[in-house]
Structure 1
Amino acid sequence: MDLFSRSWTALRAVVADLADEDFARPSGCAGWLVRDLVCHLVIDAQDVLITLVTPTEAEPTRDAVTYWEVTATPPTGEDPLDALIVRLAAAYEEPWLLKFHLDDVGSAAGRAAELADPALRVSTRDEVLTAGDYLSAYVLEWTLHHLDLIAHLPDAAEPPAESLARSREMLEKIAGTAFPASFSDSDVLLVGTGRRAPTDAEAAELAQLASKLPLVLG
């Protein structure tokens, strides 16, 4: 629960520090500018709020790792929902409006997470998780999108080290094997999820694991 708050706070802090011109830069998400990614974060924050107030008595069907649907096809930005995000982001017109909305809804999502009972069972996407597992899954979401946000912003702060380490641990569980120890946590996340291609040297170290990549999470 604490790591959810730290990763989410760090991500929102980077957005708060963005200059207006940064919103027109490309992000690490295919087909999305930084402004589109920030708009997506607003939707994510709304999803957190909705899920935490959707309790259920049913038994859990997923945990923090199995929450993720895994495919091998990276997004192109042409999916109808992805395209909708682009239109929504453009409707804000002024970057400060996006910052304000994310701060408003994002702060509420953060408070809701701090107040949530980790053992509470919640429903989302027709699945049931404990609130603790649901929020743990979002550590990976926040960390990946933090890397996406700063992909072309070399001076921006990186995700917290503990968020990177936990996200690597989850991705390795999803992959069913560990990545080479020589890979940094950031490299594991970027290469493992197809955000960048491995170098020849990295591909050689990955060996048979390379055939499983990318792990596209949805």
Structure 2
Amino acid sequence: MDLFSRSWTALRTAVAELPDDAFAQPSGCTGWLVRDLVCHLIVDAQDVLITLVTPAEAEPTRDALTYWDVSATPPTGEDPLDALTVRLAAAYQEPRLLKFHLDDVGSAAGRAAGLADLDARVSTRDEVLTTGDYLTTYVMEWTLHHLDLIAHLPDVAGPPAEGLARSREMLEQLVGTALPPSFSDTDALLVGTGRRAASEAEKSELGDLAKKLPLVLG
């Protein structure tokens, strides 16, 4: 819960401090500008609120790792939901409105998470998880999207080190082995999830592991 809170607070703070012209810059998500990514974060926050008030009685069907649908195909930006996000973001017209909505809904999601019973079960995407596992998935979600936010904004603060380390740990568990220790946590996440291509030197260090990457998480 502490990592969820720190990761989410850091991401919302980074968005709140962005200058208006940053919203028209590309993000690390294929086909999305920063404004589109911020709109997606608003939807994410709404999903957190909805899920936390959707209790389930059944046994968990997924946990913090198996929650993810793993693919080897990177997104193209042409998915209908991705395109809808772009239209929704454009409707805000002004960056301050995106900032306001993210702060409003995002703060509520953070408070709701802090009040949640981590052992309770919740339902989302037709699956059942404990609340603790569900919130743990968002440590990776917030961390990866924080990296997406700053992909072309080098002066903006990045995600907390603890969130990067935990996200790398989860990625390595999904891969089934550790990434080379010479990779920083940031590079491990960017290369491991296909947010950037591995350099020739990195491919050499990865060896046969390069064939398993990237893991595209959905």
Q: TM-score range by the shorter chain?
A: over 0.9
> Which residue of structure 1 lines up, in the alignment, with residue 5 of structure 2?
5
Query: What do residues 158-211 of structure 1 show as CA deviations (whole Å, max 9, x unaligned)?
Result: 100000000000000010110000000000100000000000010011111100
TM-score (norm 2): 1.00
User: Could you say which residue in structure 2 is the equivalent of 1:156?
Assistant: 156
User: What residue number does 2:136 align with?
Assistant: 136
> For the residues of structure 1 that align with 2:53 and 2:151, how far apart are their CA atoms?
33
CA RMSD of aligned residues (A): 0.4
In the alignment, the residues of structure 1 paired with residue 48 and residue 208 of structure 2 have an alpha-carbon distance, to the nearest angstrom, of: 36
CA distance in structure 1 between the partners assigned to 2:162 and 2:110 by the alignment: 18
Query: How far did residue 133 of structure 1 move?
Result: 0.3
- SS in structure 2 opposite 1:188? helix
How far 1:53 moved relative to its partner? 0.2
Q: For 2:39 and 2:148, how far apart are their aligned partners in 1? A: 13
Give the percent of matched residue pairs that are identical in Structure 1 and Structure 2: 80
TM-score, normalising length from structure 1?
Answer: 1.00
Q: Distance in 2 between matches of 1:146 and 1:122?
A: 25
In the other structure, the counterpart of 2:178 is 178
Q: Could you tell me how far apart the structure 1 residues matched to 2:107 and 2:193 are?
A: 28
One-letter amino acid of the counterpart of residue 121, structure 1? R
CA distance in 2, matches of 1:120, 1:101: 28
Aligned position for 1:85: 85
- Measured in 1, the distance between the counterparts of 2:148 and 2:73 equals 17
Q: Which residue in 2 is equivalent to 1:103?
A: 103
Q: In the aligned structure 1, how far is the partner of 2:46 from the partner of 2:207?
A: 40
The CA deviation at 1:57 is 0.8
**Following TM superposition, by how much is the alpha carbon of 1:37 offset from its aligned partner in structure 2, in angstroms?**
0.1
Whichever residue aligns with residue 50 of structure 1, its letter is I
2:16 paired residue number: 16
Query: In 2, Cα distance between the equivalents of 1:98 and 1:7?
Result: 19
Structure 1: distance between partners of 2:39 and 2:158: 20
Show structure 1 runs of 5+ residues with no match.
Answer: none
Report the Cα distance in structure 2 between the residues aligned to 1:188 and 1:67, rounded to whole angstroms.
20
Q: Deviation per CA, 1:51-105: give whole Å up to 9, x if none.
A: 0000011000111111100001111110000000000000000000000000000
What is the alpha-carbon distance in structure 1 between the residues aligned to residue 116 and residue 175 of structure 2? 29
Whole-angstrom distance in 1 between the partners of 2:176 and 2:138: 19
Where does the alignment leave 5 or more consecutive residues of structure 2 unmatched? none
The secondary structure found in structure 2 opposite 1:106 is helix
1:122 matched to which residue of 2?
Answer: 122
Residue number in structure 1 paired with 2:198: 198
Residue correspondence of structure 1 range 15-34 to structure 2 within 5 A: 15-34=15-34
Residue 8 of structure 1: how far off its partner (Å): 0.2
Matched residue, 1:207: 207
For residues 133 and 120 of structure 1, what CA distance do their matches in structure 2 show?
10
